[in-house]
Amino acid sequence: MKKSTRNALIICISLLILNIVLFVIFLYTEILTAYIFTIILFPLIICATIFVPIIVDKNTTIPKEQNQ
């Protein structure tokens, strides 16, 4: 695994953990806007977790292909 891909994964996983923590806090506070915020944010973070490493991986492999 490339360093940049690993860094992207670490960022995404930390965001995912942060979102889960926020969601738990929102469950106890029961603020409607917090639920909406979490519903919007959660799929975005999941998408980021899936796509960011792929995008970063493509960006790091393109220069190598051009050099060949």
Every domain of the chain and the residues it spans: 3-58
pLDDT tens per residue across span 6-54: 777 777 778 778 777 777 777 777 766 667 777 777 777 777 777 776 7
Torsion angle defined by CA atoms of residues 7, 9, 54 and 62, in that order, rounded to the nearest 10 degrees: 10
* Angle made by CA atoms 34, 38, 39, in degrees to the nearest 5: 115
Residue 60 · residue 4 · CB < 8 Å: yes
* Banded model confidence at residue 1, pLDDT cuts 50, 70, 90: low
Single pTM value for the model: 0.43
What integer is the mean pLDDT of 51-59? 71
